[in-house]
Amino acid sequence: MPACRALADDLLKSEAPLDYLVLTQGMATLQGYTPTPPEKGGLDEKLTLHYYSRALLMDALGPLLQKSSDGRCLSVLSGGIHSAYAGYVEDPDLSKGYSLTNAANLAGFYNDIAADALSSAYPGVSFAHASPGFVATSWGTEMPAVVKALVRLLQNLGRSKEDAAEYMFRSLYHDDFKGGGFYIVNQYGENTGTLTSLHKEAKDTVWSHTKEILAKF
């Protein structure tokens, strides 16, 4: 998180317009709740990569995206395919009830909400949360050897990273995503608008939690 803040501060010093912000950082592990060192935020490693660092960069760099004639932000994770995270009130950072399922759903659910909230905070900027589908990449390098071998075998059935990137790139140039707002994008680069049933109910609470976290950096 401090590294993301330092990056944002460096870019903000330039005051140059930012046309595109693409966020893909992540990790695939079977580990339980694993907090980062206190000086790096103390948040779970996976959630830091999948959500909090992304929210920090999206929010911090919003002013530069607004300076562009067509600023767009794309967070690639699980748009439209995750479930809601129902524990957003009592356990907003998963420090009490961590599981792989909860971590996956929280990250996707919160990315939806961040895109929604930031599209209001920065009018004219388009924020998209996308799911790339099943792609043949180096995903899973942190997995145990047996699991990693199975993943590599199954990835022969996935689309190439080049094809996936072409679909994802659509949200950065197509007029369907022009002019601001937030979008949920499927593996074919199409806006589906698919949100969970808890999105509206949870939006203010989740974004308030997020802002409290970001204010520490």
Q: Is the pLDDT of residue 141 over 80?
A: no
Q: What is the pTM assigned to this prediction?
A: 0.91
Q: Give the model's pLDDT for residue 62.
A: 99
Q: Average pLDDT of 7-28?
A: 97
Q: Give the model's pLDDT for residue 138.
A: 65
Structure tokens at 70: 């067509």
Note whether 29 and 66 are within 8 A (CB): no
Q: Give the model's pLDDT for residue 166.
A: 96
DSSP, res 107: H
Q: Average pLDDT of 11-21?
A: 97
Distance CA 35, CA 81 (A): 26
Structure tokens at 49: 């990569």
Q: What is the CATH number of the domain that holds 42?
A: 3.40.50.720
Q: Give the model's pLDDT for residue 134.
A: 80
- pLDDT band at residue 154 using 50, 70 and 90 as cut-offs: low
- pLDDT band at residue 122 using 50, 70 and 90 as cut-offs: very high
- pLDDT band at residue 146 using 50, 70 and 90 as cut-offs: low
Q: Is the pLDDT of residue 38 over 70?
A: yes
% of the chain residues with pLDDT over 70 = 91
Mean of pLDDT over the chain: 94
**Closest Cα to residue 152, out of 132, 168, 136?**
136
| Long-range CB contact pairs, 9-17, < 8 A, 24+ | 9/60, 11/61, 11/64, 12/60, 12/61, 12/63, 12/64, 15/64, 15/67, 16/64, 16/67, 17/64, 17/65, 17/67, 17/68, 17/69, 17/71
Q: Average pLDDT of 8-22?
A: 98
Q: Give the model's pLDDT for residue 156.
A: 67
Q: Give the model's pLDDT for residue 113.
A: 99
Q: Higher confidence at residue 155 or residue 112? A: 112
Of 36-50, 99-113, 139-153, 196-210, the least confident: 139-153
Judging by DSSP bridges, how do beta strands 72-76 and 20-23 pair with one another? parallel
Domain span at residue 167 reads 2-214
Q: Give the model's pLDDT for residue 73.
A: 99
Element of type H or E holding 133: none
Sequence length of the chain is 217
- pLDDT band at residue 28 using 50, 70 and 90 as cut-offs: confident
Q: Give the model's pLDDT for residue 152.
A: 66
Q: Average pLDDT of 14-29?
A: 96
Domain count, the chain: 1
Q: Is the pLDDT of residue 110 over 70?
A: yes
